[in-house]
Structure formats: structure tokens, C-alpha cells
Amino acid sequence: MKNSRGFASDNNSGIHPDILAAIEKANAGHVIAYGDDLYTENAKKIIRQHFGECDVFFVLTGTGANVMGLSALTSPFHSVICAESAHIYVDECGAPERFCGCKLLPVETKDGKLTPVSVAGHIHGFGFEHHSQPKIISISQSSELGTVYTPEEIRRLADYAHDYNMFLHMDGARLSNAVVSVGTDFKSVTKDAGVDILSFGGTKNGMLFAESVIFFRKGLSDNFKYIRKQSMQLASKMRFISVQFEAYLSNDLWKRNAAHANRMAQMLSDEVSKINGITITQRTESNAVFAILPEESVTRLQQECFFYVWDEKKSEVRWMTSFDTTEEDIMKFISLLKKNV
Amino acid sequence: MKNSRGFASDNNSGIHPDILAAIEKANAGHVIAYGDDLYTENAKKIIRQHFGECDVFFVLTGTGANVMGLSALTSPFHSVICAESAHIYVDECGAPERFCGCKLLPVETKDGKLTPVSVAGHIHGFGFEHHSQPKIISISQSSELGTVYTPEEIRRLADYAHDYNMFLHMDGARLSNAVVSVGTDFKSVTKDAGVDILSFGGTKNGMLFAESVIFFRKGLSDNFKYIRKQSMQLASKMRFISVQFEAYLSNDLWKRNAAHANRMAQMLSDEVSKINGITITQRTESNAVFAILPEESVTRLQQECFFYVWDEKKSEVRWMTSFDTTEEDIMKFISLLKKNV
Amino acid sequence: MKNSRGFASDNNSGIHPDILAAIEKANAGHVIAYGDDLYTENAKKIIRQHFGECDVFFVLTGTGANVMGLSALTSPFHSVICAESAHIYVDECGAPERFCGCKLLPVETKDGKLTPVSVAGHIHGFGFEHHSQPKIISISQSSELGTVYTPEEIRRLADYAHDYNMFLHMDGARLSNAVVSVGTDFKSVTKDAGVDILSFGGTKNGMLFAESVIFFRKGLSDNFKYIRKQSMQLASKMRFISVQFEAYLSNDLWKRNAAHANRMAQMLSDEVSKINGITITQRTESNAVFAILPEESVTRLQQECFFYVWDEKKSEVRWMTSFDTTEEDIMKFISLLKKNV
Amino acid sequence: MKNSRGFASDNNSGIHPDILAAIEKANAGHVIAYGDDLYTENAKKIIRQHFGECDVFFVLTGTGANVMGLSALTSPFHSVICAESAHIYVDECGAPERFCGCKLLPVETKDGKLTPVSVAGHIHGFGFEHHSQPKIISISQSSELGTVYTPEEIRRLADYAHDYNMFLHMDGARLSNAVVSVGTDFKSVTKDAGVDILSFGGTKNGMLFAESVIFFRKGLSDNFKYIRKQSMQLASKMRFISVQFEAYLSNDLWKRNAAHANRMAQMLSDEVSKINGITITQRTESNAVFAILPEESVTRLQQECFFYVWDEKKSEVRWMTSFDTTEEDIMKFISLLKKNV
């Protein structure tokens, strides 16, 4: 099959060659299933080199990483506060509610990012048995709107959460793009900024199926192995997840892939902003570009190169770049835009 | 790393080269995520060639396939009848209870197989609101004790279930081994034998992570896409599951792998039965050998070549063969046994 | 103990003498437990006289009635749309999410009432597996803000819901007050207005513990007896719930109690509106009065006669009247208000 | 209606006059809803006088008390070990599985009672993530077969449970009958015998709807108020549950009722054992008599005086006595038996 590249989603991309090579290399002989193997031990070590001391669990899907992580830190009578654009709120078919039993409380935002001020309206009713007890503030880094939190912004949310005996959860499905964007390292925007638990994803940046849940506080993960198994996310041939993470965090693969995708998004954003009739609606800080363009243009364009409408009412669309996006892809798409807007 | 092969589990094996090649071949360009792609369409077509008309959903883990399948056919006030040795009863950490909310009712068996007579004790209380309502009979083909149901045995259970307006569920994590064992095809032991829903697994017979849920009755799968998503088992890069199934069902790969593993089990069983002090405890009908040997021998042997004790009280162990087991592996293990029993 | 009456909640009131008399009268000999008795049969008949043909189930708590009703009409991948002030959203500690597994989607309102226009923002994503599927619009009659839907308003919501293959659920914890308020009968604001399922409560209007779930559409309640039992709400001595409903719906007790409470609320509202420094914030259409008064007055008043602050930010309070509120109670409270505002 | 008394169930009886009088007496004025009232405070004090220091929560149904209690001490990956005749296993429509998410593990017994030896087969797999982790041993006192544990038998189970870091749960729906039977007090068979959590029921011994969950270990109940609310079992007019318990534990009402019911069962048992063709199958230690009699006799008898068949295969029936059973009731039933067996 001949598959062309587009801007619909970084999930549509394939596997980076280095990741596939790592899988092939690990494909020899028998290894104890379910993670009790040396590949997995190594991968955890490398993650600790990047994130500092932490407990690491490998899982299969991003929704799984989020839901299991939230489940580990909550009881069903708790609530989770998140942006109304959060993946856990709008894109997981209610899996957090079903699996955790918790209430999710949405916060309206302009840019997909929470602040202590914007979450404050949900922080009340502690000790009142009629009220779901607030327990987690969940943020996405980078956010679903392509924006990025600075370490200071995260620290403020973490301090705020901890003041109320709550946890800060980070959905890091696109963490690498965010780290590259703020020009720092993994530890600075997670452990050092006060994050308690992280979904650290690889699938959107060149891995096959490989996600992880990382706990930064002692004691939080004691029962997580049961939660992972009971959530149907314990992979038997775990070594093949582990070696993906190993390859990802070696030779700066994560950084090269993310930096490239971010650069492509910036290029796309720059070029788009020169076109009359299209308005960029969010700062392009990672690998996403949000723009408003005429509805009829959208329909025509989608037929040539599919992408998603983000907000039908505003005719706002989302374009994602990926580790394998090329400058040529962008210039071709820009021509298409120029012809159709 | 140098990984030697053993007899602990078919989950410990790696990826068959043809499967890996299929993944590599599909790794080109962008493809719509979450299964709306041509690879997935093709894979479903091939599955229908083998199983007859059916609805197919690809998922990531065997526990996931079982739990989601049971969930699709039950409400929380239902019960599921299974062998007390069933994977869903003893090896899924209670995931079926948590996710479906159902009661699982165990049936004592000698050989891991159910019959209408043995399940009858649980078939009562219909319409009585204090009683979990029986809804599913779940069997494993091949069973967790390595035995295999004939098509007639399955048909009798299916008829029995349908008489009570119940469903027959089959855990087919090792279905290929069973099909080879009875010398028939997939359709004869599933759709044609009255099975309503099947977990059709590939991971234990050469795939990477690839399982599926197959519905044989119209209308049962209408909401399954939501259940799969809410169960966190919707893979974004679905094409890489689909092509594994395509490769598996092409060129008789499934049959070659399963036949080989079964043959190796038979060889192991034959050789073991010649050794004094070891008793084979189950018929060797697929790729498992069950045997009782002295406790102190077990401990010594496990240090040289790890495998699992199945029943500590009886000192009964389980040895699994796999698609990559060699005759040399077996003869080496036989020597080891001879030295240590 | 000497318990004075206040305006904190209609839940704080006791049992109407006619209700208690009915319990006493039924307290003779043995009766088959769990509802298979003549008292229960009679009570259901009387309910059908008031509501038209319907399926009736008696339960113990209002939260129970709501949660079980929602559960009967949903799968966990569904969503329920409600006012952000709805009891199911803010006062049930997340029980709907835990028990149904569903997502609850809040709608901002001025007066606690939904309209087709205000819910429209949540009506999308049908067939998209990443999105919780909208299945129920839930309204409270009378609303948590003391306002009341006309039959026409309910009909419009019902039609809207049915257009999308959704259901209209009504939380009728204070249905009697609403029926009196619109000057009609039970059937006109429920079955005839298109309501599919109703929580019909009695506890807030003179009963002890007595609530019910009423289904107006054939086929919806087929499995409800199992849901009620599994939800731990099947009362063994059911006759004592049933006779409360019988007494409630006989001799216009429901109407006399509700009319009285409404009249008391109107009187309170009228008197309050004459006091400088207090602003009535909602139309007084049932047995609730909402008002803004100075924060320091609230604190002083609560010490003499406790009531709840509804919205701390606005210093808005809620005063509830009850079937046993007297004119003297109100005039005493008005004096207190005059002294303290 | 004229309701005659029978032997079908102690749930079929009505309300003891002292209990009803207590409800009437508390029916004055307003009281803060949901348990923050003096009646409830008093009732808890009296319970502590009988049981020693403990945390007490009032609820509405026996199934509710059991399920919420189990839920308080478990996570969904835990298992609960109980007799295969336990109410939680066979009579709650799977509510424990649905609400707790746990696996229930049945133990075969002759007399409805567990011992350390009989539960031992389920005590394994600690730390193994594929296995539901054993967390609770649950016993019924008196048992569903009418037998009673001595304090020593309970202590042995408690010690055994605690050795494995597990809890001992007691379903005390008929605790009063058991206490009278062993000739001791509440504390001796619960707190002093090592019970961690108790469902202490009143409905079967003269109350209306009144059950409670009692925690004997510090710290276990910290979140129980949220669990009770989320389980839909928080009664608004709590005072009317509380005063039932107050009346029950005053003037030895609990003891008089239970002693009477037990005596009636003994009398029934004694008389029955004189009849040819009926075999008593369990020791009559509380208020239940189990007997085998010819199937055709059962059918004839049920038409005159309904009771339940316990085990259809054996034609074994259960007869329950109650606080209001009279000697005349028994002698009439004995005549009936004599005529029909």
C-alpha cells in the first residue's frame, strides 16, 4: 500500500526505524513474560536517568496510562479537575468515570492550560459527604491545544494541589514535544516541578504501542501492579515495549523526533499566517497548529488531505505535525491551502 | 542479551519472523489511526474467510479480549459459568468482576473442560431477583490444562446454553493449537459449533501483541466499539495489529506454528513418560504437558530451566512448548530431568 | 427532645401523621417480603391511577431512585446531560458516575432549568467511539432552584431528546410541589409530557423513607428488579413503603402537603421582599426561597435558626418550607431577619 | 388485611410495638437531616455500651450494610472468602462484585461455618499480580444454616485472617439470635473475638428498616461516610433509624426478641423430630430449622403455609421463626406437618 503523509494526527504516523530495529534486536529466544526481564529493568533505569528516582510501569495505550494512573490515586468518591479540552474529559469515551468511578470536573480555558485561579471554583466541599471530594488536578503537557506549560506554571499548580492534599497528574502523551519547546529536560517539567504522577507516552512520537505510568512520590505505586493487570494492560511480551523506551531515550531520539515535529509545526504556522483568510488561533508551541478558515474551504481541503475539525461552530481546525513530516509535505499543503481558501 | 528457550510459557517466546516482516512492510507513511484503514479491512476479510461471517475487533491483550467480550454480552446482574481452572477465573486478577460487575461461578473439572452436566448445578434462579442471572458459559479452547474440545462437545454446550437463553463464550488464546489438534478448521470449532463470541489470540503463537474479539451472532457487537474504547484497548496504530493477523492467517503460518508446538509437546510428553518418578497428569492434546514429580526435583530443575508449578499441593508442574521450541531443546530438558528426578 | 422547625431543608421535617398511621395499620402479621404482597400491589394501582399506565418500583432513597433509574437506561459509555445545579451532579457524591459508569455533562443555567437550546452544546459525537454517547437529558421538577417546568417546556425537552434517540429523565423528589404549582396533575407533567422515567419522591413531603422509580415506556423496566436488588435498595419489609404511597395519594394528602409548603414559601418570599438589604434571586414557584443578604447577617441568623448558604461567593442562601411549616414560624423568622439584616 | 404468621422468613414479620413507639416519639419538629442529630448521637453511644469503642454508621438494608462494609476494606483487586451458602455469595444478586469490583471465593461447608482449615485453600498468591489478592474472610453469625460460631471459633478465624494481613468481616443480620444462643453479649462475639467490621442488623428481629455498619479498628472508617453516600444508603431522616436502634438495645428488647425466636425454633425442631419421615439436617442453634421431607409433602404444605425450599435436589426446606411466632403457630404447623408427611 502507498500511504501518503498528512496533518490529521501524529497517531497516523508509523514506527521510527530505530524503534523497529530495537524490537528486532530483542527478538531472540525466550524471556520471562510480563516484565520480569532484563530489557524492562534496563528501560526503567534509563527512564530514571532522565526523570530522577521514580517508579515506572509500562502499558499499551495512552488512555490506559491516564485512566490507570488516575485510578491509582483516587477512590470512587473523589473528583478530578481538568481542562474541558483534556483528553481524559473528551476523548476517552468516559473510561475515567467507568474505571475510577470518579467525577471529572471540567474547567473552561482559552489555551487548554489550567491555573490555580481557574481551578479554584472546584476546590471546595472537603469533608462534606454529599460532594465528590477533589483529589487530582490533571494537566496535559503539551496541552491538547498545542500550548506548553513552563516549569514555573506547573510548580504553581503542584503547590496549589498539595496545599489541599491533592495530587498533580500530567498527561504526557506529547511530553517530549513540550520538553523541547521549553528547552529543558524531562525532570524539570515533571518531578522537579512537583508532578506526582505522569502518563509518559511514546506512541505519538515514533513508537509502536508504548506508554508508561511514572510515579514520582514514594508509596503511591504500591498496588499499581494489580491495577495494571486488572485494567487488562499488562503485556505478556513486555520486553518489546521496554526496548522501545530504551531506544527512544538513547541517542536523543526522543529529542530529535520532537524537535523536528515542533519545527515543522512552526514552519506550517509561519506559512499559514501569510495566507489571507486563515487565522491562527493558538500559539504554536509544540507540534500542533490551530486555525480558523472558511467552512467550504475545509470540506474541499479534507478531500485532498484529511484533517480534523476541532470546533465546528467556529470552523476551527487542527493540524498536527509528526516526526516524519517533511518540509516538502508542508509546502505542498500550503499550496493546497492557497488554492482552496 | 542471550536468551535461551525454556518451557515456562508460550508467552515467553518472541515474534515469528513472518509477523515482524509484516509489521515492517506496513511501516510506510501515514494511515488513519484507530482502525479505519485498509490494512484492518483486509485483516477482517481474511478472518471472515477462516471463520465465516462475523464481526471482528482487534485488541491488545488476551485478558482484554476476554473481559471486553464478556462485558459485551452481560449486564452486571448476570453470572458467567466457567471451569475453576479458567484463565478468566484464576489469572486475570478479578478483571472480569471489576469490569463487567458480574459474578463468576467456578465449576470443578478433572481436565479443564466443561460439560452440560457439570455446569448444570449453576443453571437455576432465573427470574429470581436475589440471584445473579446465569448468562454465559465460558470455555477455553484449548483448555488451561492442555486438553481440547471436539466440535461435538462444543455444540452440546452451545445448545445447552442457548436452551437457557445464554451465550457460549470461547477463550481462544490457544485456539490454533486446538484446531490443529482436532484436525479441523477454525470455523468448525467456533461458528459452526455454536460459539457466540470468541477471544481469538495470536500472542501465544508468534504474534507481538495481537488479540481479537469475534462475534458470530448478528447484533451482539453493535456497541462493542464503545466498550473497546472505554476499556482502554483501542490501539491508535491499529494497522500494526491488523497486519499481524493477516500474516498469521496467510501461508498457513498459524497452522505451522501450532502444529509444531503441539508436536513438540507430544515429543516431550512421550519422552517424559519414559522417566521413572514422573507422572503425566493430563492428556497431551495441544502444547502443554502436565506432570507430577518430586518437590525437591522441581526446585533443582527450576534453577536450571525455569517453569511454573501448577499445583503446589500435588507437586504438579506445567511445561509449555512454543512455535520456536526445537527438538534439541526437548532432548536437553529430558537429560536435565533424568539427572534430577 | 424538643425540636423546633426551621427553613434548612424539607428533609429535616418528620413524618406526616397520616403516613405514620398507615404504617401502623399495616403492622399486622406476616407478609411476603420484598414486595410480593397485596399492599404493594395496591400502592402500584393507585400510582397508575395518578400517572397512567406505568411500571413502578419502590425504593428507599432519592439518590437511589435517581442513580438506579439512570442506570436502567444507560450503558457505561453513555452520557447524561443535566443542569450544573442538578442533585445528580452536585449532591450525590458521584454516585451516578460510580454506579452507572457514565459521564455527567453539566449545563449552566440561570434558574436550574434546561431547554433544548441550552443542552444543544452537548448533543454531538454520535457514533464516534472516542466520545461518551449522549443518552439521557435529566431534569428536576421542581428544580433545585425552586423553579418549575410547565408541561409544554417538558414536552419540548422530551421531543428533543427523542429526536436523538435519547431519554428524558425527571428527578421528582419534589414533584408534588411542582404539580401544585402548575395547577395540574401528575400525569400532565410526566407521562403526557413525554417523560420516560421518573424518580417520584415522598420523603421531602411527609413520608418516612419512601421513593419510587416509575417507567412510562414499555420494555424499559424489564431488568430493573435486578438493578434494584444489586443496588442494595430492595427493602425486605416493602409493605411499609407501599402503604406510605397509598396514604400519600389518597385523600389528596400529597396535594394538601405540597400546597401548604408552597403557600408558606410564597408568604416567606412576600415578606422577605419587603425587607431592605435582601434580594430574592429566583422566582418562588414551589417550596424554596433563594435570597442574597449580607454575609455577616447570614452568620448571625444561622446561629439562631440554621439554614444553608447556596452560593458562598454571592452570599446567596436557600430557605425551604415544608408540609409542617406554620405561619407563625414564618413571622418569627421574618422578625429575626429584620433584626439581623 | 388479615395477615397470618408463617415460617417462611423473619423478614416477613412486622415491626415490634416498642420500635414503632420509638419512631412515633421521635416524630416531632425538625431535626438536621443525614445523621447530624442528637438521636443518632445517642444511638451510637448505646451501641458503644454494648460493643465497646467503635465507629457506627446507620444504613437501610442488610445487603447494603454488607456491600458497603466490604467496599470500605477492599480495593477491586482483592478477594473475599466466604461460605458458599453466604448471603453475600448467593442472595445479593452479585452486588458485592458490582460495587466492590472484588472476586468472591466460595468455600464448601457442611454447616455454613468457616474454619481456618476450610479457607486455607484460598489463601495464596499474595504479591502475584495475576491473582486477586485475598483480603477479607467473611462469616455470618448466626450462619445462613442457623448454626452459631462460639467466640473461640471466631477468634481463631480472626487470628488466621490477621496473620495474613486480612480482615474478618461478620454479617450480623441475625447477630442477636447468635448472642442469645451462645449465652454471651455482643462484645464477646465481635470486638473481643477479633472481628474487624460488622453488619449489625435489626430488620430481621423487629425493626422496620434499620441496619448498621460497625468498625472495631481505628482508621478503617475514615472514608466510610463518602462510601455510604455514594452507595445511595445515606437516609435523610436518619433519626428514625437511630431511635430504632436505641429502643432495640434498651430494656433488653433485642434479647427478648431473639431469645423468643430461638426458643420457638427449638420447640419447632423438637416437635418436628418426633415426626416420622422428616429429618432435621442442621443443629437448631438460632431461629432456623432445616429439614428434609418428601417432595410431594413440601408442595402440599406450601399451599397452606408458604415456606422456602433450601435445596431442591435434597428436598431440604428452611423454616424460620421470628420475634412474633407463638407456640400456637408452631403447634398448628406441626399438625399440618403430621397431616401432610
Largest CA distance in chain C: 60
Query: Nearest residue of A to residue C131 by CA position?
Result: A93
Q: What pLDDT score was predicted for residue A341?
A: 87
Are the beta carbons of C11 and D34 separated by less than 8 Å?
yes
Distance of CA D66 to the CA centre of its chain: 9
Q: What pLDDT score was predicted for residue D28?
A: 92
Q: Which residues of D are less than 8 Å from A72 in CB distance?
A: none
Please list the pLDDT of chain D residue by residue as tens digits (341 residues): 678 899 999 999 999 999 999 999 999 999 999 999 999 999 999 999 999 999 999 999 999 999 999 999 999 999 999 999 999 999 999 999 999 999 999 999 999 999 999 999 999 999 999 999 999 999 999 999 999 999 999 999 999 999 999 999 999 999 999 999 999 999 999 999 999 999 999 999 999 999 999 999 999 999 999 999 999 999 999 999 999 999 999 999 999 999 999 999 999 999 999 999 999 999 999 999 999 999 999 999 999 999 999 999 999 999 999 999 999 999 999 999 999 98
Q: What pLDDT score was predicted for residue C266?
A: 98
Q: What pLDDT score was predicted for residue B4?
A: 87
Q: Which residues of D are less than 8 Å from B312 in CB distance?
A: 124
Q: Which residue has the cell 515482524?
A: B20
Q: Does C128 touch chain B (CB under 8 A)?
A: no
C-alpha D144/C-alpha D288 separation (Å) is 9
| Closest CA–CA distance from residue A142 to any residue of chain B (Å) | 19
Residues with Cβ within 8 Å of residue C165, at least 6 apart in sequence? none
Query: Nearest residue of D to residue B107 by CA position?
Result: D106
Q: Name which of D77, D223, D229 is nearest A226 (Cβ-Cβ).
A: D77
Contact (CB, 8 A) for A249 and A256: no
Domain segments of chain A as ranges:
17-248, 253-340
Q: What pLDDT score was predicted for residue C315?
A: 96
Q: Which residues of D are less than 8 Å from A236 in CB distance?
A: none
- Around A124, how many Cα atoms within 13 Å sit in the side-chain half-sphere? 10
Q: Is the pLDDT of residue C46 over 80?
A: yes
Q: What is the percentage of chain D residues whose pLDDT exceeds 70? A: 100
CB atoms within 10 A of CB B280: 15
Q: What pLDDT score was predicted for residue A1?
A: 67
Are the beta carbons of C98 and A77 separated by less than 8 Å?
yes
C-alpha B189/C-alpha B175 separation (Å) is 9
Q: Could you report the per-residue pLDDT of C68-97, keeping only the tens digit for each?
A: 999 999 999 999 999 999 999 999 999 999
- Dihedral (C-alpha) A319, A325, A330, A336: value to the nearest 10 degrees? -70
**How would you classify residue A139: left for phi > 0, otherwise alpha for psi between -120 and 50, otherwise beta?**
beta
Contact (CB, 8 A) for A234 and B64: no
Residue D156 identity (one-letter amino acid): R
C-alpha B33/C-alpha B19 separation (Å) is 20
Q: Which residues of C are less than 8 Å from A87 in CB distance?
A: none
Q: Which residues of B are less than 8 Å from C227 in CB distance?
A: 77
Chain A touching partners, 3 or more CB pairs below 8 A: B, C, D
Residue D6 identity (one-letter amino acid): G
Q: What pLDDT score was predicted for residue A4?
A: 87
Q: Does B104 touch chain D (CB under 8 A)?
A: yes
Q: Could you report the per-residue pLDDT of A19-75, keeping only the tens digit for each?
A: 999 999 999 999 999 999 999 999 999 999 999 999 999 999 999 999 999 999 999
Chain B touching partners, 3 or more CB pairs below 8 A: A, C, D
Query: Nearest residue of C to residue B130 by CA position?
Result: C229
Going by C-alpha positions, the residue among A220, A130, A113, A129 that lies closest to residue A166 is A220
User: Strand, coil or helix: what is A287?
Assistant: coil
C-alpha C88/C-alpha C96 separation (Å) is 7
User: Strand, coil or helix: what is C176?
Assistant: helix
The stretch C138-155 carries a mean pLDDT of 98
CB atoms within 10 A of CB B253: 22
Q: Name which of B77, B129, B234 is nearest C129 (Cβ-Cβ).
A: B234
H helices of chain B, where? 17-26, 38-51, 62-73, 87-90, 95-100, 116-119, 151-163, 175-182, 186-189, 224-230, 239-248, 253-272, 295-304, 327-340
Q: What pLDDT score was predicted for residue D3?
A: 83
Q: Could you report the per-residue pLDDT of C230-252, keeping only the tens digit for each?
A: 999 999 999 999 999 999 999 99
Q: Is the pLDDT of residue C4 over 80?
A: yes
Are the beta carbons of A226 and B93 separated by less than 8 Å?
yes
Residue C260's H or E segment, with its range, is helix C253-272
Q: Name which of D77, D97, D98 is nearest B93 (Cβ-Cβ).
A: D77
Q: What pLDDT score was predicted for residue B1?
A: 67
Q: Does B98 touch chain A (CB under 8 A)?
A: yes
Are the beta carbons of B235 and A60 separated by less than 8 Å?
yes
C-alpha B323/C-alpha B205 separation (Å) is 6
pLDDT along chain B (341 residues), means of 10: 88 97 96 96 98 98 98 98 98 98 98 98 97 98 98 98 98 98 98 98 96 96 97 97 98 98 98 96 98 95 93 96 97 95 87
Q: Could you report the per-residue pLDDT of C295-308, keeping only the tens digit for each?
A: 999 999 999 999 99
Is the ipTM here above 0.90? yes
| Closest CA–CA distance from residue D117 to any residue of chain C (Å) | 31
Beta-bridge partners for A103 = A79
| Closest CA–CA distance from residue A223 to any residue of chain D (Å) | 9
pLDDT along chain A (341 residues), means of 10: 88 97 96 96 98 98 98 98 98 98 98 98 97 98 98 98 98 98 98 98 96 96 97 97 98 98 98 96 98 95 93 96 97 95 87
C-alpha A107/C-alpha A80 separation (Å) is 11
C-alpha cell at D186: 455482643
C-alpha cell at B4: 535461551
Residues with Cβ within 8 Å of residue C200, at least 6 apart in sequence? C47, C51, C65, C172, C175, C211, C212, C213, C214
Q: What pLDDT score was predicted for residue B2?
A: 73
Going by C-alpha positions, the residue among A137, A135, A124, A138 that lies closest to residue A78 is A135
Q: What pLDDT score was predicted for residue A274?
A: 96
Q: Is the pLDDT of residue C226 over 70?
A: yes
Sort strands D55-59 and D211-215 into parallel, antiparallel or unpaired: antiparallel
Query: Nearest residue of A to residue B99 by CA position?
Result: A99
Which architecture, in CATH terms, is B17-248?
Answer: 3-Layer(aba) Sandwich (3.40)
DSSP assigned state of C326: -
Testing the interface with D: which of C97, C229, C236 to mutate, by most D Cβ within 10 A?
C236
DSSP assigned state of A28: S
Are the beta carbons of B5 and A93 separated by less than 8 Å?
no
C-alpha A167/C-alpha A215 separation (Å) is 11
C-alpha cell at A169: 497528574
At the topology level, CATH places domain B253-340 in Aspartate Aminotransferase, domain 1 (3.90.1150)
Overall residue count recorded for chain C in this entry? 341
- Around D277, how many Cα atoms within 13 Å sit in the side-chain half-sphere? 11
C-alpha A137/C-alpha A123 separation (Å) is 10
Q: Which residues of D are less than 8 Å from B79 in CB distance?
A: 94
Q: Name which of D23, D38, D232 is nearest C231 (Cβ-Cβ).
A: D232
DSSP assigned state of B81: E
Q: Does B75 touch chain C (CB under 8 A)?
A: yes
CB proximity under 8 Å: A 12-31 to B: 12-15, 20, 23-24, 26-31
Going by C-alpha positions, the residue among D134, D175, D137, D220 that lies closest to residue D50 is D175
SS3 sequence of chain D: CCCCCCCCCHHHCCCCHHHHHHHHHHCCCCCCHHHCCHHHHHHHHHHHHHHCCCEEEEECCHHHHHHHHHHHHCCCCEEEEEECCCHHHHCCCCHHHHHHCCEEEEECCCCCCCCHHHHHHHCCCCCCCCCCEEEEEEEECCCCCCCCCCHHHHHHHHHHHHHCCCEEEEEECCHHHHHHHHCCCHHHHCHHHCCCEEEEECHHHCCCCCEEEEECCCCCCCCHHHHHHHCCCCCCCCHHHHHHHHHHCCCCHHHHHHHHHHHHHHHHHHHHCCCCCCEECCCCCCCEEEEECCHHHHHHHHHHCCCEEEECCCCEEEEECCCCCCHHHHHHHHHHHHHHC
Q: Name which of A129, A228, A230 is nearest D226 (Cβ-Cβ).
A: A129
Q: Does D104 touch chain B (CB under 8 A)?
A: yes
Contact (CB, 8 A) for C61 and D232: yes
Are the beta carbons of C77 and A91 separated by less than 8 Å?
no
